[in-house]
Amino acid sequence: MSVEIRQVRTKAERKAFIKFAWNVYRKDPQLKKNWVPPVISDYMKTLDTETFPLYEHAELAMFTAWKDGAMAGTIAALENSRHNEVHQDRVGFWGFFECYNDQEVANALFAAAAVWLKKKGLDTMRGPVSPSMNDQCGMLTKGYDSPPVFLMLYNPPYYNDLVINAGHHVGQELLAWYIDQKIIDIGRLRKISQHVMKREGLSIRIIDMKNFDAEIAKVRDIYNSAWEKNWGFVPMTDREFDFMAKSLKPIANPHYIYFVEDAEGRTIGFSLSLPDINQALRHVNGNPFTPWGFLKYLWYSRNISLVRTIVMGVLPEYRNKGIDSILNTHIADYGGQHGLFASEMSWVLKSNEAMSKLAKVIGGKPYKEYVIYEKKIA
């Protein structure tokens, strides 16, 4: 039987689009072992084009594939006008790809996304990006033997074959670095940090949660400035950044959000790490806000053993001066004192030699690899 493609248009269809993933991962013992179900309510918000701030400058289309009368796969296509303004190209994106191991279904999904993107005047498709480079992106190609950390993706190994066989090629490679805090020479790191702080006249502090909005404004300004030269980066609008910050605030530990300031009190760098709440979310089946789900979430949150360092940013004039050593020292120091003896630094461009060097210096190992694929739209 041929594959039928349907475009998602209603709230109920959007929820079915999200829930399809359970059919892929729950039926395979190995995938089920490590997959962390997405929080359904969060995905519902992310895919809501009426309220999610990304769609003030982007357009989204969601498609489901049907075979033998049953849903067999999903994909979303996205036109991000700010990306094309910043990079002066005509790139569109695909993401939220889930599919059985069926090349015919995968081909139909990619074709549907390509047709939609082509109608928008775009000539290249890139993904998985779900739904932007500031969110979840990259397809896992190495590191299937452990669960993903918070806001990182997980997928069956065969997904990569489906993408390659559909004519896509590697556009960019990403790494996740695992850092065992127990083997870090924290004494040496402290000395380096103290030397840099004294030499540059710097100080470090944690975020002031009582002045959250003002603090987030500082993070936003440095983030957009520090990352502007990165591959595929698009500065976040104030509304996008505020929306993201407020959604993460409930799980933030202020002792993992640091600001580095100069002698005049100007913020010149920051780091943002979050506890790996996936270690708790994997037990609640995508529903942490039900009474039973919330109780289970609280129970399993007691023993979170890892943090994810999502981003570090330093103003351009302070790059290559060792500011990262100050931030890493405090992350490792606090974690070691409070039972969090591991961290993941992700994601990092494989081509970013400076960040790879930094990760190696503090004992990091690249234990997961991801790919963002590209394909010309015919």
- The model's pLDDT over 154-201, given as tens digits with 9 standing for 90+, comes to 999 999 999 999 999 999 999 999 998 778 888 888 898 999 999 999
Residue 359 above 80 pLDDT?
Answer: yes
* Contact yes or no for 270/258 (Cβ under 8 A): yes
Average pLDDT on 278-284 reads: 96
pLDDT at 154: 97
Residue 96 above 90 pLDDT?
Answer: yes
Average pLDDT on 258-284 reads: 95
pLDDT at 1: 65
pLDDT bracket for residue 337 (50, 70, 90): confident
Compute the distance between CA of residue 324 and CA of residue 341 in angstroms, rounded to an integer: 19
* pTM of this structure: 0.94
Compute the distance between CA of residue 79 and CA of residue 86 in angstroms, rounded to an integer: 13
Give the end-to-end CA distance of the chain in Å, rounded to a whole number: 26
Which contiguous run of DSSP H or E holds residue 11? helix 11-25
pLDDT at 345: 93
* Tens of pLDDT, residues 285-332: 999 999 999 999 999 999 999 999 998 889 888 988 989 889 988 888
Question: Average pLDDT over the chain, rounded to whole?
Answer: 93
pLDDT at 204: 96
Report the interhelical angle of 212-226 vs 238-248 (nearest 10°): 120
Average pLDDT on 124-137 reads: 96
User: Among candidates 372, 349, 308, which has minimal Cα distance to 139?
Assistant: 372
Residue 115 above 80 pLDDT?
Answer: yes
User: Could you tell me the CA-to-CA distances from 52 to 48, 221, 241, 245 in Å, in that order?
Assistant: 6, 21, 11, 13
pLDDT at 339: 78
Q: How many CB atoms lie within 10 A of CB 375?
A: 18
Percent residues over pLDDT 90 in the chain? 80
pLDDT bracket for residue 231 (50, 70, 90): confident
* Contact yes or no for 119/95 (Cβ under 8 A): no
DSSP 234: -
pLDDT at 108: 98
DSSP code per residue over 263-296: TTS-EEEEEEEEE-THHHHTTTTT-TTSHHHHHH
* Contact yes or no for 173/316 (Cβ under 8 A): no
DSSP code per residue over 147-182: PPPTT-----THHHHHHHHTT-EEEEEEEEEEEEGG
